[in-house]
Chain A
Amino acid sequence: GAVVSQHPSRVICKSGTSVKIECRSLDFQATTMFWYRQFPKKSLMLMATSNEGSKATYEQGVEKDKFLINHASLTLSTLTVTSAHPEDSSFYICSAIGTGGVSMYEKLFFGSGTQLSVL
């Protein structure tokens, strides 16, 4: 079945550094990818919608200069947390919409998530 690979699974960084998280669709083309943040014991919070070749659409309250999203190809989207601070510590998850045929249409495939800890 369709697979979304997210890397790294866990990262610890110092305050003020930048961290890049990658999300790849391994066996399908993902014209649209989503980035989410999840706090402990809370549901997913959609941060931004990323369309290949265009600027990401950010949800209200999400700083686009802090959370840089690049979706340069149909199989790769990256989220860069710039100048990370302890309050950015969270679980970040990506997902992609399946494309190519009725069986894939609008199906959501999730990465395994990245636990970011900022010291």
Chain B
Amino acid sequence: KNEVEQSPQNLTAQEGEFITINCSYSVGISALHWLQQHPGGGIVSLFMLSSGKKKHGRLIATINIQEKHSSLHITASHPRDSAVYICAVSTGNQFYFGTGTSLTVIP
């Protein structure tokens, strides 16, 4: 069993739709990270959070420590949001990665 489970694996949405990607983990963590990987490989760290909620532009990340669950929301999705979104958790210097969610936003 993976320490980090993500769902869905693949997601196709129409431009403008509200998108949610879920992440559940089974280990004690010090922080949870949401990463974005565009075609071509570049990876950007979107959020690092250990409690509550963070917002950056159209992106919102929430975490529930008791339930060991996090969600990444994208409001008013746009084709440029098409990417793979990866959830990762850190326990000090150890990281565990989800398998990623491939998002395609259609104009």
Q: State the main secondary structure of chain A at its contact with B.
A: strand
B48 within 8 A of A: yes
Q: Mark B35-61, 1 if CB is under 8 A from A, else 0.
A: 100000111110010000000000000
Q: Contact residue range for chain A?
A: 20 to 34
Could you tell me if B48 and A107 are in contact, using CB atoms closer than 8 angstroms? yes
Chain B interface residue count, CB cutoff 8 Å, equals 23
B11 within 8 A of A: no
Residues of A that sit less than 8 Å from B by CB: 32, 34, 38, 41-46, 49, 51, 91, 93, 95, 97, 106-110, 112-113, 115
Residues of B that sit less than 8 Å from A by CB: 30-31, 33, 35, 41-45, 48, 84, 86, 88, 90, 93-100, 102
* 15 extra interface residue pairs, beta carbon distance < 8 Å, beyond A95-B43, A106-B31, A110-B45: A32-B93, A38-B41, A43-B84, A43-B100, A44-B43, A44-B88, A44-B97, A46-B96, A49-B93, A107-B48, A108-B33, A108-B35, A108-B95, A113-B42, A113-B43
